[in-house]
Amino acid sequence: MINLAADTTKHVRRNLFILIALCGTAFSVSAQQKTYLELLANQPKWVDSVFNRLNRRERIAQLFFVRAHTNLGKKYTDSVGQVIKKEQLGGVIFFQGGPGRQVVATNAYQKLSRVPLIVANDGEWGLGMRLDSTISYPYQMTLGAIQNKELLYKMGLEVAKDYKRMGMQMNLAPDADINNNPKNPVINYRSFGENKYNVATKVAAYMKGMQDGGLLTTLKHFPGHGDTDVDSHYDLPQLTFSATRLDTLEMYPFKELIKQGASGVMIAHMNIPSLDATPNLPSTLSKPIVTGILKQKLGFKGLIISDAMDMKGVVKYFKDGEADLMGIIAGNDIIELSENSDRAIKLVRKAVRQDRVSMAEIDQSVRKILTAKYWAGLAKRDTIVTQGVVAGVNRTASNALVQELANASVTLLKGKDYIKRLIPIRRTAIISIGVPSVTTFQKEVSKGYYNSVYYVLDKDASAAQISNIAREIGAFDQVIVGIHDSRSRPANGILLNAGVKNFIKELSAKNAVFALFANPYNLASLSGLENSKGLVIAYQKEDFMQISAAAVINNRLVPTGKLPVSVAPFYKFGEGL
């Protein structure tokens, strides 16, 4: 006979035990999922144990991150390793190369370092910003058109997976600049757009996705690089705006994201007299800006990272390592890409002896860096598996997300009803302008228009070539045109000769539908499009955008993107049918 009471009691006790165990596990996981800033407030014992083993020179060396490439040959790769072995720096920042080579180099560099290195790179649109054979997500300008911020959070999670597979702990992204100057030569398409609220919202989603995925992030370029017409890689830009304007506009996204737990902020190289009147002083080297505003006024507790210290914007007026030293005095925790880190470390040691900078302030930065290393998992040394690394950063789910992001960004400015009335069986000319051969856009559009012919017009097409196409398409009932920027990055000044631009203007006055695969600022130089029967903005030249634009024209995708910038005089921020 079964004792039901006893059996029930055992069952209840067993379930209670499982519940307690699960609660304990959940608590443990929760404890492990502290944010970097939470961990910083209660630093782990590992930080103390490592810190106490470092002498003064070694502590100073933790503040310096060295440049590395994997596309410059073995001799170069080995020379970086020699610097790491000799100087025992805090981190390495990878630039161009490939995933397989970078993983091999990372393993070698980590073995040479007594304290694990933070490994970083610039990944504003993922690994593809620097590495071949990896995924490039849409540019931030394209993402600025998306209305569903959860997609950007998902992108952040995917990017974090890529970085962790590569043995990297820090992304020098996202870009939090407001691009309120259409002529900006250095930010532009790297920004989520011109509206401070849109920028803050989109940056927050991308940042949180990466941080929730276990990746250190870096908001850049404080206090805001969006309204400059000088590239700080080549010279020192000057912002002449008032402190009030900077506080309420340029700094707005940074202020909001600091409140939301940003782990890092990068300082721009800009001269800003309203914040620091010192002549020719870059903001990177300004204590009133780095310490006074960012640390004290805004209360930022996370990692402060200089922009690259080999850029002309910072070394033009401060040479021979003085910029590195002044960056530390200003309050930066990490000095990125010193021209000569060995020299810089010696200058800092000398400055400590001369009381130009206190060792206590340096020690605080060292502890922040060590805590970041612990949070990112570097307390446990591990060798990155080299086998299958390319497949590991080219996941099916990531590629599917790229297309989902493209679909959500494509923006219809004109012709909603006209495009709906296009007839699949009518004779249709499908033209791609700015390219030498048939495009993905044409192939995709033709799936919806069965009686179609392709035409291609290169960016430097002759008058005779233009005339021939103009004559032939007169016999067609419908004309669909793709305008393609052939350059590697979607900058202003699309490369189309005057004859091609005039042909676009003539087509705009007829029954033509256009898709622009270029930076939206190029609308300003393509007169006539404002009169076209249909206008789709697809922001960049990549195939995933061509697929999305074609789906809109084929009436298979309802566009939801909104223009992230204004383009005078016809197009305003937020427009999209």
pLDDT digits (tens, 9 = 90+) for 181-222: 998 888 999 999 999 999 999 999 999 999 999 999 999 999
The pLDDT of residue 553 is 98
Handedness of CA 62, 67, 70, 75 (dihedral sign): negative
- pLDDT value at residue 568: 87
Helices 498-508, 463-472: axis angle to 10 degrees equals 20
424: left (phi over 0), alpha (psi -120 to 50) or beta: alpha
CB atoms < 10 A from the CB of 332, how many?
27
CATH 3.40.50.1700, the chain: domain bounds: 410-553
Q: What is the torsional sign of CA 96, 99, 100, 104?
A: positive
Q: Give start-end residues of each CATH 3.20.20.300 domain in the chain.
A: 36-397
CATH code, 36-397: 3.20.20.300
pTM of the model: 0.93
pLDDT of residue 442: 98
User: For 556, what's the count of Cα atoms within 13 Å in the CB-facing half-sphere?
Assistant: 14
Nearest to 302 by CA among 360, 369, 376, 209: 369
- H or E stretch covering 265: strand 264-267
**What is the assigned CATH class of domain 410-553?**
alpha beta
* Spans of the chain, pLDDT less than 50: 1-32
The helix-helix angle for 396-409 and 149-165 (nearest 10°) equals 150
SS (H, E, C) 159-199: HHHHHHHCCCCEECCCECCCCCCCCCCCCHHHCCCCCHHHH
Confidence (pLDDT) at 14: 39
Helix/strand/coil percent split, the chain, to 5: 45, 15, 40
Give the HSE-up count for residue 76: Cα atoms under 13 Å, Cβ half-sphere: 14
Sign of CA dihedral 537, 564, 559, 544: positive
